[in-house]
Amino acid sequence: MKFPRNARIFRGQLDASPFVGVLFLVAIFLLLNSSLVFMPGVAIKLPEGKGFPGVTGPTVKVFVDWNGQLYYESQAISVENLRLKLRDLVRRTGEPVTLVLLADKTVTVEMVVRLSELADDAGIKMVVPAVRPPAGQTEGGAVR
């Protein structure tokens, strides 16, 4: 039995429009996932450091940007309102709370000391600065 052969080698000109369409789709996906898309939040450049302790138990995060503005629960807040919120949180929790301070590397030491005193006044006994690992090192300390 002989089968008819109707498959022929394409000898015409290749149409580029499907490739261009796929290229545009890839470009759109890359743009949507890039840093050109506005990401809401506070831009903070954490200082580098290693050997800082981890945190166990309940924590509360306070952000301080390069301008000295305080942020608590993603909202700008004044020092007095922050003191009241921290006191209320410590009262509600009933166990020791740790303050994780995410301060920009340009924040002055004076501001960090003021926040530590504020936390102590609110009943928080431990303040831990958030840092990022040094460039070129992984979490275990090995060089990449």
Asked whether residue 10 is assigned to any structural domain, the reply reads no
Q: The domain containing residue 143 runs over which residues?
A: 41-144
Instruction: Decide if pLDDT at 116 tops 50.
Output: yes
**What Cα–Cα distance (Å) separates residue 91 from each residue in 45, 64, 66, 68, 117?**
32, 24, 30, 27, 18
Asked whether residue 131 is assigned to any structural domain, the reply reads yes
Asked whether residue 109 is assigned to any structural domain, the reply reads yes
Query: What pLDDT sits at residue 30?
Result: 86
Query: What pLDDT sits at residue 21?
Result: 95
Asked whether residue 11 is assigned to any structural domain, the reply reads no
Asked whether residue 14 is assigned to any structural domain, the reply reads no
Asked whether residue 143 is assigned to any structural domain, the reply reads yes
What is the number of structural domains in the chain? 1
What average pLDDT does the segment 32-36 reach? 72
What average pLDDT does the segment 22-31 reach? 92
Instruction: Decide if pLDDT at 22 tops 70.
Output: yes
Asked whether residue 23 is assigned to any structural domain, the reply reads no
Asked whether residue 2 is assigned to any structural domain, the reply reads no
Query: What pLDDT sits at residue 144?
Result: 44
Angle, helix 109-122 to helix 79-93, in steps of 10 degrees: 40
